[in-house]
Structure 1
Amino acid sequence: MEASVFEYHKEEDTVDIQSFQGDKQKLIQPTFLNDPRFEKLKQTLVDWINKTLKPEHIVVQSLEEDLYDGLVLHHLMSRLAGVNLSVEEMALSSTAQIRKLNMILEELDKRLGLQDSSQIKWNVKLIHNKDLLATIHLLVAMVRCFQPELDLPPNVKIEVLALEVTRSGIKSEVLIEVLTEDSDTDSDSLSNTEKDDPIQQLLKLEAHKVNMVKKAILHFVNQTLSTLGVQVVDMDKQFSDGVILLLLIGQLEGFFIPLCDFNLTPVNQAEMLQNVTLALDLLNDMDLHMSSVSPQDIVSQDITATLKVLYALFKKHKEK
């Protein structure tokens, strides 16, 4: 009897191993998870999703945790491509989520024009398993197709460990995965963008010339805010919570922003991001498009991003 039990388990193990043969997986090398370019791409995609789905009051914080069930992807496809599928809004069970994802990805792949399966770097299993690499590949493809004017960080590459289960064991190799294009055309377009961007050009000048322009903009800001009793001393830091930026926009454009619409005394980064997002949305409504600036840039005290926003306001209002 013991022998038969042993044989049973032996047979079961053999079947189990065979079922994994041919399975392939790519794992992001841990050292690249905090790579600045990779972080920038992730944040840009999160900001893009939140801006696109703002009218529907959907807020994404994590690409891994918030897209796996299909809800966000379905709403994105609806907003960007005008496609509404007959799927349940909230798929609670794993089976329902996979069924929903299958319908969404099938339709998305058609819309993205990816007939060759070798070009597709995502699938239902990967997205549902919260695979960050596959999720980013899918979102980048959606941006390129539906909103090509959006500036994604160029030349983002990461190192991945590719694993494959074979009859003889597990094969592994280290590969470089390209998330956004690394080509001469990208470099040329980036150079042209910088050529047309006065702030990028300014920051290449000598320090004293940069300071002269910063002083001129600072004078313009303080002159505008003087009636509110607000003064900016440190341009690099005082705009990071969005409060002074919102007050400045209101003064320049001649409208009052209700205090209930923003956080007058933000206490955390989420509240700062909410303020700055509102400010950039207002600029967009004023036809001052800041596609190369994300809310996170301002909150992180990126002086280049802050100068771009202030210069756009300065240029529009200096002659009034």
Structure 2
Amino acid sequence: MEADVFEYHKEEELVDVATFQGGRQKLIQPSSLNDPKLEKLKEALVSWINSTLKPEHIVVQSLEEDLYDGLVLHHMLSRLAGVKLSVEEIALTSTNQIRKLEMILEELDQRLGLQDSSEIKWNVKLIHNKDLLATIHLLVAMVRCFQPDLDLPTDVKVEVVVIEVDKSGIKSDVHTEILTEARDAGSDSTGNTESKDPIQELLKLEPHKVNTVKKAILHFVNRNMSALGLQVADMERQFADGVILLLLIGQLEGFFIPLCDFNLTPVNPSEMLHNVTLALDLLNDSGLQVSGIDPQDIVSQDVAATLKILYALFRKHKGK
């Protein structure tokens, strides 16, 4: 087993065994690297990063090659959590990249609620060394924290070789490491998605509890619309034409939507549908993907669809 492990890495990566001295190194088995489930997870994470950073005109092609210097992670932290650190935009030297990563990961670990270092499966050295396993663990944790509604491939596992080198020699072991959890037994994909949808679960509660959440979201909406002199009292009806929804998105995301791009006073369902479709496109462009909503649902004053969009905006911008 040990001979096979080092034979593979001699050919592919020319690993210097001395770098392992006094520590542990985890390497994904070659057979797992070709697993279709792992490929789908990587593609999903790349797509998520690119949709989130589309307004920044940043495009990622490889998790291994494009995240090690901290630039992408810094922009993701800014977009997802509204955090801007005092670091240089582009760090060219290895020393500066590591210093930048230290600040970013320290902030991320706090945001992810990981106080116990034993729970953290990544560190500055691993990310900077383009360690795929650590990079995926970090990104999956970020998705679960900042965008839990994102549908990542489930039950993704990899075979990992754990190598330890000390004065007594080389030790290695192989185990299975979980990247994403399996779905609950006995539930299909549709049932599982519905069971995790907080809005669907909310609407099953007593009316007074639903109204309490609605009031909290409306308070958030009106606080952010007050600068425009607008107030929302009827959640379903006032968002149906898309106008207030577009203005709210512009306020929260910090951009101006030209009046020529939408109908400020829509007079028919077609114009209302145009506005709502534009609003959903803008949400996707800003990295806030709200699945399972048709623009017609909002125009038709569907309470679940309207709440789902407003709740997603509330989760992302509730600190504002």
5+ unaligned residues in a row in structure 2: which ranges? Answer: 1-15, 196-269, 272-279, 299-320
* Matching residue of 2:31: 31
SS in 2 for 1:69: coil
Pair 1:42–1:85, CA change in 2 (3 A): same
Classify 1:175/1:77 alpha carbon distance in 2 versus 1 (closer, same or farther; 3 Å). Answer: same
1:155 aligns with 2:155: yes
Cα contact 2:154–2:183 (8 A) shared by 1: no
Q: Match for 1:190: what amino acid?
A: S
1:40 corresponds to which residue?
A: 40
1:130 match: secondary structure: coil
Deviation string 1:118-166 (CA, Å, 9 cap, x unpaired) is 1000000000000000000000000000000101111110101110112
Looking at structure 2, the residues matched to 315 and 83 of structure 1 have their Cα atoms a distance apart, in angstroms, of 33
Aligned to 1:54: 54
Change (3 A) 1:162 1:33: same
Seen in structure 2, the aligned counterparts of structure 1 residues 20 and 50 have a Cα distance that, compared at 3 Å, is closer
Matched residue type, 1:80 = L
| Aligned AA (1:43) | E
Runs of 4+ in 1 over 2 A off after TM superposition: 16-22, 182-185, 187-191, 193-196, 280-285, 289-292, 312-316
Question: Which stretches in structure 1 are left out of the alignment for 5+ residues?
Answer: 1-15, 197-252, 255-279, 293-308
CA contact (8 A) 2:74 2:104 kept: yes
Q: Residue 105 in 1 paired to residue 112 in 2? A: no
| Structure 2 CA distance for aligned equivalents of residues 53 and 170 of structure 1 | 43
| Counterpart amino acid of residue 79 in structure 1 | R
Matched letter for residue 37 of structure 1? K
Structure 1 letter corresponding to 2:132:
L
- SS of residue in 1 equivalent to 2:176: strand
Which residue in the other structure is 1:232 paired with?
Answer: none
SS in 2 for 1:179: strand
Q: CA deviation at 1:167?
A: 1.9
Aligned to 2:189: 190
Q: Secondary structure at the match of 1:95?
A: helix
Aligned to 2:55, the other structure's residue is in SS state helix
| Aligned residues of 2:20 and 2:164 also touching (Cα < 8 A) | no
Aligned residue for 2:180, secondary structure, equals coil
Counterparts of 1:74 and 1:283, CA distance in 2: 21
Change (3 A) 1:86 1:173: same
Aligned length: 205
Q: Which residue of 1 aligns with 2:142?
A: 142
Does the residue aligned with 2:174 lie in a helix, a strand or coil?
strand
Q: CA deviation at 1:75?
A: 0.2
Provide the C-alpha distance between the structure 2 equivalents of 1:290 and 1:19, rounded to a whole number of angstroms.
45
- Aligned partner of 1:121 in structure 2 is 121
1:195 CA displacement: 7.6
Structure 1 residue 32: Cα displacement: 1.1
Which one has more relative contact order, counting CA pairs under 8 Å at least 6 apart?
Answer: 2
Shift of the 282–17 alpha-carbon distance from structure 1 to 2, 3 Å rule, reads: closer
Following TM superposition, by how much is the alpha carbon of 1:25 offset from its aligned partner in structure 2, in angstroms? 0.7
Would the alpha carbon gap of residues 17 and 51 (structure 1) be closer, same or farther in structure 2, given more than 3 Å must change? closer
Q: CA deviation at 1:184?
A: 3.1
Report the counterpart of residue 178 of structure 2 in structure 1.
178
Looking at structure 2, the residues matched to 93 and 117 of structure 1 have their Cα atoms a distance apart, in angstroms, of: 27
Q: Secondary structure, in 3 states, of the residue corresponding to 1:148?
A: coil
Deviation at 1:65, TM superposition (A): 0.4
Return the alpha-carbon distance in structure 1 between the equivalents of residues 281 and 30 of structure 2.
Answer: 35
Match of 1:74? 74
* Secondary structure in structure 2 of the residue aligned to 1:87: coil
- Please give the residue correspondences for 1:207-246 in structure 2 after superposition, counting only pairs within 5 Å: none
TM-score by length of 1: 0.56
Quickly say closer, same or farther: Cα 1:79–1:165, change in 2 above 3 A: same
Which one-letter code corresponds to 1:132 in the other structure? Answer: L
Shift of 1:190: 3.4
Q: Cα distance, 1:283 vs. partner? A: 9.9
Aligned pair in 2 of structure 1 residues 25, 156: CA closer, same or farther (>3 Å)? Answer: same
